[in-house]
Amino acid sequence: MKAYLKSIKHIKKMALTGLLAVGLVTQQGISVSAADLSSTFNNLNLTFAYKKQNENNPIITQRYAADPSVMVYNDTVYLYATNDSYEYSNGSIKENSYSTIQTLNCISSKDLVNWTDHGTIQVAGSRGVAKWAGNSWAPCATYKKINGKDKFFLYFANNANGIGVLVADSPTGPWTDPIGKALISRSTPNCSDVVWCFDPAVFVDSDGTGYLYFGGGIPTGQNAHPKTARVVKLGGDMTSLAGTPITIDAPYLFEDSGINKIGNKYYYSYCSNFNTAGSGINGGAIEYMVSNSPTGPFTFTGEVFKNPGVYFNGSGGNNHHSIFEFKGSYYLAYHTRTLELAQFGKNLGYRSTHLDKLSVNNGVLSEVKGTMAGASQVSYLNPYERVEAETMAIQAGVNVSGSGNTLVTDIHAGDWIGVKGVDFSDGLSKITVSAKSSTGGVIKVCTNSPSGTALGYIEVPNTSGAFVEVSSVLSNISGVKDLYFVFSGNMELDYWKAVAYSGQATETDTTVKNYATLSDGWYYLKNTNAQKYLQVKDNVGANGQNVEIGTGTGANGQKWYLTNTGNGYVTFKNGLDYMLDVANGANVDGTNIQIYSPNGMDAQKFKLVPTATSNVYGILTKSSVDTKSLDVYNFGTTDGSNVCEWTYYKNSCQMWVLEPCSAPESTVPVPTPTPTPTPTPDSPSTTASMSIKIFSDWSDGATADITITNNTGKNLNGWTCTFTTNRPISSIWNAELVSSNGTTYTISSPSWQSNLAAGASYTFGCNMGSGPANVTITNISLK
């Protein structure tokens, strides 16, 4: 059950137990052909979309989104924005005064093109979480682990009179007001002369300390040095202050604080005012300053982004931005007035968010040019898992209602939604949608455009107020496609999911697809969310003994011997001589994971499925027919958190790193053969050779494995390797990064692989930035 908001009325969604096979049989049981269903689209006029199909900006068009701020969490971009909702005069939309805004927007994306709309957050006013506040503008968000659990903090401006803070256990809420008043106001020390006490930006440093930046406005006669920006250290709870706000002297400041840490430098960015003549600074542009400390002093460095009106005719006015890093590249989110110009043909002050790539070269931020094309898609959408209907790259005519858990609503004949870069690598046999309709209607599923090739039709009957799952067999496709859903009637949509094409494949054929093969040997299994290891409770070997996670100790109960058994399946036998086991071989969410004596049953067989990150896997259970995985219950992060079986959603609590380890003292180790990689041709080194395998390359970045082979002729204990690449590396795992200079890197051995025998090889993973597809490694030195 979930609720959503539509026209200020809460309507409850009803549960469904059955599945209707639609496109084959109607609710009345009369056979319906595809031709009959297609006729409902004859002479149907498609609703106009406010951006072109080859454009990714604005990032959403179903509502306005101003003052964007980005938080990256769990490999997902969360963007929070001011909800520029319509103001009316005599029934007509009037110019935005901003005085009635009391809600914020939250959207998210894993690929920067398809955005999930999490709806509006009711912040201010009598219906808001922070009832003391009259408005909610310019949000920013961050997270911090407190008492072993990630907590999320959403800061907002109460008009220009102060800063409030909300708290939640998830990025999408629900939110609470922990202090019941403004966190910062003009009565806060050193804030009485802050003209506009608004536009917060928040940052948590690597030591866990939080900082809040805010302020703006120009005191009379102080255009060049307004001195109205502030930074203050936050308390450990992130909802209190741990010091007095410090003045930031930002030249020609207007508003819009931003903060980033790049390398070991702190970058403060802001919007300049419009009184900059003769200064060399453009008016209404995004400028930036750099410091060695999060509290300054900051040194003016340059400009990142001119006023949006330079790039988009009629989109002048204030400039608001957010700089963030995602998958090894930097991006700039900013607002413009392109959507309202497309909708009304004139400027009424309703703003929408754009996204473009930002280059960082040797610590210098390159100037971003605003585009309608926007950022490129950085990963493909998986259609074989549940896709929320409110995840869209483009739409025409629909609305999204609710907060947190949302629905696509207000669908009428001719409306449509589209998602881009959908990976049908396993083909397509059918699509199931969850829909509700009081009149009935048909959904046409097509590729490339809303008027493109029809794959088939899904009929939605009159569902009598309930959401039901309906499905239809569709034409098979393969590869990466843009997918569109076109509607011929009034309905609401919750989610959709594709089923892979089975063709003539046998059951065995389908169960061995998309798995990773690792060498037989001893491994630690570390959960990526908790950063703790799979272990046997109390390190005691006994049938039925519980399996949990715990801090790494090297105990025998944390060591697992992986054995490949065929068809992609493996077993895990721990150092206590018991097998990892699904209790009773059940196929039920929440089934306990235990250890048991070896019996060769499916309950003791698992499959490693690769993820976007090298050496990180989902571990599927054969007893669930590969639909469920090892899962740390409820995203637990503390020692003793239970491990169970749960439907595989690719959540972080279901992701595991396999770290090679030594055999238990009482067990004869089984040698793990190590393949010798092909040396990089360009390398003149005689001490080592290196080879690289690219797993994913999206032009702006790549994920790769790099293998080092010891050619020194001697065993190395505690080794160090220096090398140069022709493509920059943004992050490294399974090795320690010692230093970097341009594209020359020095790494050292991880704690679990300090020994590298003569002729042996070791592989570590990395993410790379943009660069040539043919990556070369040169100047290799191993010692």
How far is the C-alpha of 68 from the C-alpha of 456, rounded, in Å?
38
Pairing type for strands 521-527 and 560-566 reads antiparallel
Upstream peptide bond of 297 is cis (omega within 30 degrees of 0): yes
Per-residue pLDDT for 21 more than 50? no
Please give the single-letter amino acid code of residue 312: F
Tell me, what's the pLDDT at 700?
62
Among 25-39, 45-59, 352-366, 649-663, the minimum mean pLDDT is found in 25-39
Q: What is the mean pLDDT of residues 515-537?
A: 91
Helix, strand, coil tally for the chain in percent (to 5)? 5, 45, 50
Please give the single-letter amino acid code of residue 412: H
Tell me, what's the pLDDT at 506?
30
In 3D space, the residue among 165, 106, 159, 105 whose CA is nearest the CA of residue 136 turns out to be: 159
CB contact at 8 A, 396 and 47: yes
Per-residue pLDDT for 170 more than 90? yes
Strands laid side by side in the 299-305 sheet: 253-262, 265-272, 286-291, 299-305
The helix (run of H) or strand (run of E) holding residue 524 is: strand 521-527
Residue 604, SS3? helix
Q: What is the DSSP letter of 751?
A: G
Torsion of CA 654, 660, 661, 666, to 10 degrees: 90
User: What percent of the chain shows pLDDT beyond 90?
Assistant: 70
Tell me, what's the pLDDT at 362?
94
Per-residue pLDDT for 2 more than 60? no
Among 254-268, 274-288, 319-333, 759-773, the minimum mean pLDDT is found in 759-773
Where is mean pLDDT largest: 72-81, 312-321, 473-482? Answer: 72-81
Strands laid side by side in the 744-748 sheet: 736-741, 744-748, 720-725, 777-782
Pairing type for strands 246-248 and 253-262 reads unpaired
Tell me, what's the pLDDT at 677?
42
Taking the chain, what is the end-to-end CA distance rounded to the nearest angstrom? 61
Tell me, what's the pLDDT at 760?
85
Residue 697 is encoded by which pair of tokens?
A: 């390359």
Per-residue pLDDT for 17 more than 60? no
User: What percent of the chain shows pLDDT beyond 70?
Assistant: 89
Residue 347 is encoded by which pair of tokens?
A: 């400027």
Query: DSSP letter string over 325-362?
Result: EETTEEEEEEEESHHHHHHHSS--S--EEEEEEE-EET
How far is the C-alpha of 745 from the C-alpha of 725, rounded, in Å?
8
Q: What is the mean pLDDT of residues 582-599?
A: 90
What residues are paired with 276 via a beta bridge?
Answer: none
Tell me, what's the pLDDT at 572?
96
The better pLDDT of the pair 128, 519 is held by: 128
How far is the C-alpha of 248 from the C-alpha of 435, rounded, in Å?
52
Tell me, what's the pLDDT at 160?
94
The pTM for the full model equals 0.64
The helix (run of H) or strand (run of E) holding residue 37 is: helix 34-38
How far is the C-alpha of 484 from the C-alpha of 342, rounded, in Å?
22
Per-residue pLDDT for 614 more than 60? yes
Tell me, what's the pLDDT at 638?
94
Tell me, what's the pLDDT at 507?
29
Q: pLDDT for 96-105, tens place per residue?
A: 999 999 999 9
Per-residue pLDDT for 25 more than 50? no
Q: pLDDT for 32-90, tens place per residue?
A: 344 468 888 999 999 999 999 999 999 999 999 999 999 999 999 999 999 999 999 99
Tell me, what's the pLDDT at 388?
97
How far is the C-alpha of 408 from the C-alpha of 60, rounded, in Å?
13
CB contact at 8 A, 735 and 748: yes
CB contact at 8 A, 336 and 315: yes
Torsion sign across C-alpha atoms 20, 22, 24, 29: positive
Q: What is the DSSP letter of 542?
A: -
CB contact at 8 A, 436 and 491: yes
Look over the chain and give the mean of its residue pLDDT values, rounded to a whole number: 88
Pairing type for strands 547-550 and 532-536 reads antiparallel
410-416-421 Cα angle (round to 5): 130
How far is the C-alpha of 424 from the C-alpha of 478, rounded, in Å?
5
Q: Which residues are catalytic?
A: 67, 255
Torsion of CA 255, 258, 264, 265, to 10 degrees: -20
Provide the pLDDT confidence category of residue 757 given band limits of 50, 70 and 90.
confident
Provide the pLDDT confidence category of residue 502 given band limits of 50, 70 and 90.
confident
How far is the C-alpha of 469 from the C-alpha of 22, rounded, in Å?
9
Per-residue pLDDT for 189 more than 60? yes
In 3D space, the residue among 469, 297, 373, 388 whose CA is nearest the CA of residue 55 turns out to be: 373
How far is the C-alpha of 89 from the C-alpha of 258, rounded, in Å?
35
Q: What is the mean pLDDT of residues 678-693?
A: 59
Q: What is the mean pLDDT of residues 607-636?
A: 89
Q: What is the mean pLDDT of residues 557-571?
A: 92
In 3D space, the residue among 720, 696, 694 whose CA is nearest the CA of residue 708 turns out to be: 720
Tell me, what's the pLDDT at 514?
60
Per-residue pLDDT for 667 more than 80? no
How far is the C-alpha of 45 from the C-alpha of 40, rounded, in Å?
11
Instruction: Catalogue all structural domains in the chain, each as residue range(s) with its CATH number.
Output: 19-48+380-499 (2.60.120.260), 66-365 (2.115.10.20), 508-660 (2.80.10.50), 688-782 (2.60.40.290)
**What are the C-alpha distances in Å from 128 to residues 124, 131, 134, 155?**
4, 5, 9, 14
Among 128-137, 230-239, 294-303, 567-576, the minimum mean pLDDT is found in 567-576
Tell me, what's the pLDDT at 705?
78
Tell me, what's the pLDDT at 525?
96
Q: What is the mean pLDDT of residues 246-259?
A: 98
Phi, psi of 139 (to 5 degrees): -75, 165
Residue 34 is encoded by which pair of tokens?
A: 């595809």
Q: What is the mean pLDDT of residues 135-144?
A: 98
| Burial of 305 from C-beta contacts in 10 A (0-12 / 13-18 / 19+) | buried
How far is the C-alpha of 331 from the C-alpha of 77, rounded, in Å?
11
Token match 């054995």: residue? 563
